[in-house]
Structure 1
């Protein structure tokens, strides 16, 4: 038994020694692999940093080339309302640039869409790289503009931009007349209904609607005013857009004896007046046809 125990002890000792050698070799291998991985990661990070630097350098050169060879130096654009009447709206177009070279002249080229008309306006320097130009715009037309830089016979142009209509177009109002029979109270009462459709508010308060109404005349004498905003609260009125209706009672009246005018007043003082009972207007022609049909059937 003692001999067997000795043999077992020797075997255990040999196994411990072999395991120790194996663990030592594995540890060395692990260290070598860790070193290789760490070295590769460090090299990869270094290469990525170099690549990022190269990309940023290339982008900077592209941007510099773009600025030097195009007019896309516009940093900001702002429009200010200077004045207006029924024919035109005058805006101050204020522009800021990333740079303007010495002795470089800057122009704004205004293009009326759908035509061959171009207007070249030299910008006035305010300070630094801030410039301004006066634009005279017709509300019913559309415009685009671009900025042109000129120096030593060389011309560089920016891309073309659209002048948004809500800067220079008064808030749109349209009235549609319609002949209807009102039978809500059990009686058939003929009415002339006027529906007002309003667009969204203009950008400048002066071009927003203040009041809108239909004025009725009989033999050149004003007999009635129908306000679209009579019962509308001020808080709602300031933000109002959409549809609204008023009506004129025709019971016992002859529609052909009256004149109907649509009046809209804007907050800046502009007043527009439009006669609605124009027989050349197909909408009014339909009103008269329905009215005549009503008379014949009653």
Structure 2
């Protein structure tokens, strides 16, 4: 049961219940989580990463929070209830001590090793803070990757936070827990590599990849039929979404009737013709094989 008191348990269940109304989180690799205390090190995409991570984790997580945010009157009561650990970057020893105590008590502690929110949606440079906690506590480190959150209103996509509409509701996200690492093996290079691998695993889990490529193209082109999509660098001619779709469908029918082979080779320069040919082959449910022109 999460928490050490009735108040904390009530807070945990109410907060997670509300969050589940907004987010649908798929957790991968939960079996990799150790039974005792350990350190979680995730990538940092949005302002609500802590909420997403807590929804995916079966046990309460104690987050290391920048003291500047910890002391904000609006946030402090909630962070106190969640037993977050404030950290002053100029004087980190107290936070390291408190994090170590929590881990030794069997709790999960989480610190975002990038030290700041991503401005590009990609994994940034990792800082040494998590190494100091892991070695001081002598604990295992579990890398964890949060996927599908870039583009959320709480991310910096479009060069701004908050000032954009949600793409979906409820919002879907994937959280992948990696294999645990001993403190001495959890170097910046190793954790960075493991996070990138987890990111690739998450990408393969995205539901849109289960759809046929041609169907995805069909849907996208239908949305803006009059918009210019292709400008041919050879003659400057343009091709709209609607024209590309129409020509490709016509060609795909001919390819389907005349060529029984599953693969069709395409020998064309980089041009609108090559775009049409590749899309037509995909719409014919065949595999385009591009050859050097």
Q: TM-score, normalised by structure 2?
A: 0.23
Return the structure number with greater strand share.
Answer: 1
Larger radius of gyration: 1
Give the TM-score, by structure 1 length.
0.23
